[in-house]
Amino acid sequence: MKLKAILEPQAEGGYVAYVPALPGCFSQGETMEEALKNIREAIELYLETVEERELKRAQRGILKKHRESAVVEVSV
């Protein structure tokens, strides 16, 4: 997956980085390279969180739909 990140130089030094396609996903760094490294990490964490939320939402929907069924938790 490729996402566009914006790196903005700051007057006091360093860079702020953010991803317009992922609201609230931002980071910073003293150098452009550090800001890029940090925004990559922020993207990974952001996407993990979104994936977990979607999985929980899907599970709640399944539980509502199958109230009479046996529901068990399975580790993978």
Give the DSSP letter string of the chain: -----EEEE-TTSSEEEE-TTSTT-EEEESSHHHHHHHHHHHHHHHHHHHHHHHHHHHHHHHHHHTTTS-------
Q: What is the pLDDT of residue 32?
A: 96
Span 17-76, pLDDT tens digits: 999 999 999 999 999 999 999 999 999 999 999 988 887 877 777 666 666 666 566 665
Alpha-carbon gap, residue 31 to 27, rounded angstroms = 12
Total-model pTM: 0.72
Span 28-43, pLDDT tens digits: 999 999 999 999 999 9
Q: Where in the chain are the domains?
A: 6-65
Q: Which residue has the tokens 């996903």?
A: 25
- Residue 40: closest CA among 24, 18, 23: 18
Question: Would you state the CATH architecture of domain 6-65?
Answer: 2-Layer Sandwich (3.30)
